[in-house]
Chain A
Amino acid sequence: MTDIQAPAVRTNQTDPAVAAPAQIKMTARDVNVFYGANHAIKDVSIDVDMENVTAFIGPSGCGKSTFLRTLNRMNDTISIAKVTGDITLDGEDIYSSDMDVVQLRARVGMVFQKPNPFPKSIYENVAYGPRIHGLAPARRDMDQIVESALRRAGLWEEVKDRLSDSGTALSGGQQQRLCIARAIAVDPEVILMDEPCSALDPIATAKIEELIHALRGKYAIVIVTHNMQQAARVSQKTAFFHLGHLVEYGETSEIFTNPRQERTKDYITGRYG
């Protein structure tokens, strides 16, 4: 038990784990996802708020990544996936026919498990999103957007002299921060992170976690993670998924110290998963 609590306590010291008063950004009600005959997500209802970092935890195959991908309709690319239920962004139904999926993804950005920079220059990686959305009519504006995105992603100092180098030439951690900068550059409202540190070493992981702290409040952040210590360190709210169900959702400190559900407790204490 003490093992698990320790990181939560550390988080308390640096960053009050007490969730800030919530302004709800996204809501999901009775969401079900089917992959063909496979019922991957079962009746999940959850609110994601603006001020807090929300972590999705749970054993492999529990549906947390699948659910994350429904939040910006990335599942649309899988032809056999079917989503039912309501998901809203600022009260708008994102699965309604009025919602343009391209606009939605500009508002709800995504960072993936494996760093996936485009095989283009660092500058082009960041500039791509703003360019296709027409955010920077002039070259000077674009320079500014790129610089500020890289600064916010904490990468500017490391790459400012080699913006024309290939994005794929960076180290794994830098690549992942570049991907975060790329997501930030289109000025989204929500950032979804799908196990952003699972391919990184501890030092790079620590940098990403610092970055998540710094970005908190500016964007609603949802992070999927396998690593419970990480969830405890970076998030204020935690949702525990198991076998497609949302088992428990609450303040991170509550979930880790005083879980209400037996299954949550078993998972957090390492009984399974």
Chain B
Amino acid sequence: MQKRIRRRYAAERRFKFMGLAAVVLSAGFLAFLLVTMLSNGLAGFSRTEVALPIDFPAAKLDVTAKQLQNRGADLALAGAGLDEVVDKAATAAFGEQGIDIISDRAWTEVREALKSDPTLLSRKARIDVPVSQDVQNALDGGGKPAMRAIVSGMQAKGLFSNKFDFGFLTSADSTDPTNVGIWGALKGSLFTMLVTLLIAFPIGVLSAVYLEEYAPRNRWTDLIEVSINNLAAVPSIIFGLLGLAVFLSFLNLPRSASLVGGLTLALMIMPVIVIASRNAIKAVPPSIRDAALGVGASKVQVIFHHVLPLALPGILTGTIIGMARALGETAPLLMIGMRAFIAQPPEGLTDPATVLPVQIFLWSDQVSRGFVERTSAAIIVLLVFLLAMNALAIYLRNRFETRW
């Protein structure tokens, strides 16, 4: 007797220990992932700048202060050869290698500085411009030895500074890692998610309501139920092929557009939403339906006044799980051409676009060292997006949760 009790306690302790070990292990993996991402990725949000002295009066730029305040300022400055002025200033300041020190887009920074302060035209100024990838590599301890020597000399003079890179959050893809931005992919993801939600949520919930409340139980509905369960388990790349065949080849919708991406992902997550919604609707106690019918509510009134509000938290949870899956999906979007190089953020649903996970996939394929940090930074943006979505879901669920 005593022995059996001891054995039972031991078994309970063992089970508890195994559970704890599982939790610790998964928490450890998660922490490892986060720490790696953050340590790599945070550098991706910043950029190194170098102070570039420019003598504007000597450069004799053919623009007036007035022109700089007009809308044509960009054209006027480009026409006046600002990029050459900047290159010359770099050579003058940093010697022969000057042009290689500053980034190719350095002159656009100078342009923005001029636009925000036209009085610069009449004096000498020091403007912080981004450095080239070669300098970045040298600073990180890589690159060519010659460049490393120059850079360490400049570093000693304190010419470099580290700044938060707003360009990363506001521009789109580029071939130069110092120039890339996440905004194009983020906007593409937003558009795609919007389409997915607008298509999948209403159709999924209505299907669930019909199947649960109206459909008769027969062989056909059984078949539909089995099909939905199977669809939820179909690999996502197959949905990509379906999207390619139906939306691009048959309906001739624009390639690479977030509209098509959204439609494809909507097809993919609809089964998830239907299954979650059906379970949520099933969980509404029949006594509530009886009560509403008993006071003379029609079937539609019962559904909209009682069943759906009570099922809403469950439906939302399912929808968010589906949306989170759609947000992280890469494979089906590759099939419909969203892996194209998109240097302009999309303006509408039919513009060529890419999405965050595809952007990460593309950057991780790049050879240039600068993309490593950018990839991690993009992953952080994706995770933050995901967290924001989940937070919204939890907020909505708590708001609509009914206390019994």
Contacts and interface: CB of A to CB of B under 8 A. Distances in A.
B296 A133 contact: yes
A182 B296 CA distance: 11
Given A102-B298, A129-B295, A118 B288 contact: yes
Contacts of B310: 119
Contacts of B292: 118, 128
A106 interface: yes
A116 B290 contact: yes
Chain B binding surface, main DSSP class: helix
Contacts of B10: none
Interface stretch (A84-92, A107-115, A152-160, A237-245): A107-115
Specify which of A74, A102, A117 lies most central, judged by the most chain B CB atoms within 10 Å of its CB. A102
Given A79-B217, A119-B402, A168-B404, A129 B287 contact: no
Contacts of B216: 79
Nearest to B294: A110
A74 B295 CA distance: 11
Interface in B148-162: none
A186 interface: yes
A41 interface: no
A72 B293 CA distance: 10
Contacts of B402: 119
A101 to B, nearest CB: 8
Contact of A129 (B217, B296, B404): B296
A106 B296 contact: yes
Contacts of A118: 288, 291-292, 306
A166 to B, nearest CB: 7
A1 interface: no
Interface string A76-106: 0101000000000000000000000011111
A268 interface: no
B34 to A, nearest CB: 39
A103 B293 CA distance: 11
A216 B288 CA distance: 27
A166 B310 CA distance: 14
Contact of B289 (A77, A103, A166): A77
Nearest to A120: B402
B71 interface: no
A248 B162 CA distance: 95
A132 B216 CA distance: 27
B291 A105 contact: no
Interface string A164-185: 0010100000000001001101
A105 B404 CA distance: 26
A118 B306 CA distance: 8
A36 to B, nearest CB: 12
A106 B293 CA distance: 9
B294 A112 contact: yes
B305 interface: yes
Q: Please indicate which of the listed interface residues B287, B292, B294 has the most CB atoms of chain A within 10 Å of its own CB.
A: B294
A116 B301 CA distance: 17
A179 B292 CA distance: 11
A105 B403 CA distance: 28
A182 B404 contact: no
Given A118-B288, A118-B306, A119-B403, A128 B295 contact: yes
B403 A106 contact: no
Given A132-B301, A168-B403, A106 B295 contact: yes
Interface in B371-404: 402-404
A105 B290 contact: no
A104 B295 CA distance: 10
A105 B294 contact: yes
Contacts of A109: 294-295
Contacts of A112: 287, 290-291, 294
Nearest to B402: A119
A168 B298 CA distance: 23
Interface in A163-214: 166, 168, 179, 182-183, 185-186
B217 A102 contact: no
Contact of B287 (A77, A104, A114): A114
B113 interface: no
A117 B294 CA distance: 12
B297 interface: yes
Nearest to A115: B287
Interface in B273-317: 285, 287-298, 301, 305-306, 310
Contact of A132 (B289, B290, B291, B296): B296
Given A119-B402, A119-B404, A77 B306 contact: no
Contact of B403 (A77, A114, A166, A182): A166
A105 B288 contact: no
Contacts of A116: 285, 287-288, 290-291
A112 B292 CA distance: 11
Given A114-B287, A118-B306, A105 B296 contact: yes
Interface in B67-92: none
Among A103, A128, A183, the one with the most B-chain Cβ atoms within 10 Å of its Cβ is: A128
Nearest to B285: A116
B304 to A, nearest CB: 11
Contact of A186 (B289, B295, B301, B305): B295
B292 to A, nearest CB: 7
A185 B294 CA distance: 12
5 contacts: A74-B294, A105-B294, A112-B291, A133-B296, A182-B291
List the 6 shortest-distance A-B pairs measured between CB atoms, nearest first: A106-B296, A129-B295, A116-B287, A110-B294, A105-B296, A119-B402
Interface of A: 72, 74, 77, 79, 102-106, 109-112, 114, 116-119, 128-129, 132-133, 166, 168, 179, 182-183, 185-186
Interface of B: 216-217, 285, 287-298, 301, 305-306, 310, 402-404
Given A119-B404, A132-B298, 18 more contacts: A72-B294, A102-B297, A105-B295, A112-B287, A114-B287, A116-B287, A116-B290, A117-B291, A118-B292, A118-B306, A119-B402, A128-B292, A129-B296, A129-B297, A168-B403, A183-B294, A185-B295, A186-B295
